[in-house]
Structure 1
Amino acid sequence: MSHNDRQMNGQHRPNSILDQFELPLAKKSRQRLARLRTAWRESWEEGSFLHQRWEDVGQARHASWHEVASWIKTAGLFGGISLIVLMLDAAGDIASATLKGLSNVPATSTSDGSGLWGTVDHPVRVFLAGQAAHLAVAPAALYAFWQLTGLLGLVGGFFGNAGARIAWLLFGLGSLAMIWSATPAGGRAAATGLAALMWALASIFALRGLTLRPIVHNHPPQFMPQFNPELHLHATLPAPAPAGDDFDNNIHPLQR
Structure 2
Amino acid sequence: MTDEVPELKLQNSRSHCWGAAVLWVKVLFVLPLGLFMVALMGSLKTGIQHAIEGATWDSHGMVAIVDAPVRAYLETHRTELPVTAETLCTTSLAVGAGLLAISFVTCTFGARLTWVGWGACSVAVVWAATTGPARGIACAVTGRAWGIASIFALRGVGTRRG
1:123 aligns with 2:69: yes
Give the unaligned 5+ runs of structure 2. 1-57
Q: 1:198 pairs with 137, 145, 150, which one?
A: 145
AA aligned to 1:190 is I
Give the unaligned 5+ runs of structure 1. 1-109, 218-256
Residues 110-189 of structure 1 mapped to structure 2, 5 A cutoff: 111=59, 114-159=60-105, 160-189=107-136
AA aligned to 2:78 is A
Cα distance in 1, alignment partners of residues 73 and 156 from structure 2: 33
Assess, with a 3 A threshold, how the Cα gap between structure 1 residues 216 and 143 changes in structure 2: closer, same or farther.
Answer: closer
Number of equivalenced pairs: 104
Cα distance in 2, alignment partners of residues 154 and 172 from structure 1: 10
Cα distance in 2, alignment partners of residues 189 and 158 from structure 1: 29
Please state how far the C-alpha of 1:216 moved relative to its aligned partner. Answer: 7.6
Cα distance in 2, alignment partners of residues 204 and 158 from structure 1: 9
Please state how far the C-alpha of 1:118 moved relative to its aligned partner. Answer: 1.0
Provide TM-score, normalisation by structure 1: 0.38
Cα distance in 2, alignment partners of residues 168 and 175 from structure 1: 11
Runs of 4+ that moved beyond 3 A: none
Q: Larger % of helix: which?
A: 2
Please state how far the C-alpha of 1:143 moved relative to its aligned partner. Answer: 1.0
Assess, with a 3 A threshold, how the Cα gap between structure 1 residues 140 and 186 changes in structure 2: closer, same or farther.
Answer: same
Secondary structure of the 1:134 match is coil
Cα distance in 1, alignment partners of residues 161 and 92 from structure 2: 38
Cα distance in 1, alignment partners of residues 76 and 109 from structure 2: 32
Secondary structure of the 1:185 match is coil
Greater CA radius of gyration, 1 or 2?
1
Please state how far the C-alpha of 1:162 moved relative to its aligned partner. Answer: 2.4
Cα distance in 2, alignment partners of residues 198 and 216 from structure 1: 29
